[in-house]
Structure 1
Amino acid sequence: MPANVLVAYGTTNGSTAQIAEAVAEVMSKAGLAAEALPARSVDDVTRYDAVVVGGGLYAGRWHRDARRFVRRNRRALADRPLWFFSSGPLDASASEKDIPPVPGVRRAMGRLDVREHVTFGGCLQEGAKGRIAKMIVRNGKGGDYRDFPAIETWAARVAGELIEERESH
């Protein structure tokens, strides 16, 4: 029986959702039962064997839905394999170097046994919601900096860890 994996995400303009969907798709192709869902829509994580939580970064903070999801489900999350990802830098820095988690995510990692955190590039394009986001795009600072091959490589590695653990038990 394949492990059930939840990829929960907090997003404003949908780019973090697309990353989460790519992660779930790679895991499904590896033989896991993975689904990507908005963090705010998940009421119960106990039916999942493992969880990945992703959040867009806004002004140095993880998306509110991701933060609330982790707080609301901390007991259940403490009992299962857990990974975090962030999306946000609007430049190539996430592809060039490892970007540490923002302070709030780092604190959550300390409270829970998060196996790993990775930061992927963000995406902010024409039509983005929010006054600040619109200003960033208007000033030419937007763009799509997501590196889907890197996202897929990371997701495959996480899936491999889960499959290896499942087979060794």
Structure 2
Amino acid sequence: MTTKVLVAYATKNWSTAEIARTITEALRAEGLEPEMRLVSEVGDIQAYDAVVLGSPLYAGRWHKDARRFVRRSAQALAKRPVWLFSSGPLDASASERDIPPVPAVRRALIRLDARSHVTFGGCLEEGAKGRVAHMILKSGKGGDYRDFGQIAAWAHRVGATLGGEVVVAREEH
């Protein structure tokens, strides 16, 4: 039996979707069966053995779709292994050190009994939607700070953890 993992994400300008895709590919390489979905398109999560959930940060908050998903699915999420990720800093800080979760994500970590949270660098480039995004880009503070090696390494650790849990669960039965 293959472990089914939901890789759910919120996004505004699709850079978080690219992070989710990297996570999905790494989990597949670990022998798991990941499915990548926008949180706004996820209904019932009963078919999944584990969930990786991520969102970009805007003004220190997760995207509204991710917050709604946590509220709507909290009971089901709390019954399975969950990992959280954020994308956001428009500088190299996320590659240089661990960045603690913002307050609402910290509360979600506790509420869902999530295994861990990580913040990856963000990406804001020309063509991004939104007035604030345009102001940031105009000020010269945009760019792509995602470290796909760091993202894949984190996802491989998640996958190895899940793979080990499946082996233990099978040996116990």
TM-score bracket for this pair, using the shorter chain length = over 0.9
Does 1:125 find its partner at 2:154?
no
Tell me, in whole angstroms, the C-alpha distance in 1 between the residues paired with 2:65 and 2:22.
19
Q: Which amino acid aligns with 1:137?
A: L
Tell me, in whole angstroms, the C-alpha distance in 2 between the residues paired with 1:110 and 1:157.
21
TM-score of the superposed pair, with normalisation by structure 2: 0.96
Tell me, in whole angstroms, the C-alpha distance in 2 between the residues paired with 1:135 and 1:107.
30
Per-residue CA deviation, residues 115-168 of structure 1 (Å, 9 max, x unaligned), is 000000000000000000011011110000000000000000000000000001
Q: 2:151 aligns to what? A: 151
TM-score of the superposed pair, with normalisation by structure 1: 0.99
Q: Number of paired residues?
A: 169
Q: 1:66 aligns to what? A: 66
What is the SS of the residue equivalent to 1:98? coil
Unaligned runs of 5+ in 1: none
Offset, 1:35: 1.4
Q: 2:30 aligns to what? A: 30
Q: Is the Cα–Cα contact under 8 Å of residues 21 and 35 in structure 1 kept in the other structure? A: no
What is the SS of the residue equivalent to 1:73? helix
Identity across matched positions, percent: 62
Per-residue CA deviation, residues 29-51 of structure 1 (Å, 9 max, x unaligned), is 11100011100000111100000
Unaligned runs of 5+ in 2: none
What is the SS of the residue equivalent to 2:161? helix
Tell me, in whole angstroms, the C-alpha distance in 2 between the residues paired with 1:106 and 1:67.
12
Per-residue CA deviation, residues 36-69 of structure 1 (Å, 9 max, x unaligned), is 1100000111100000100000000011111111
Q: 1:110 aligns to what? A: 110
Q: Which amino acid aligns with 2:167?
A: E
Runs of 4+ in 1 over 4 A off after TM superposition: none
Offset, 1:112: 1.4
Q: 1:141 aligns to what? A: 141
What is the SS of the residue equivalent to 2:129? coil
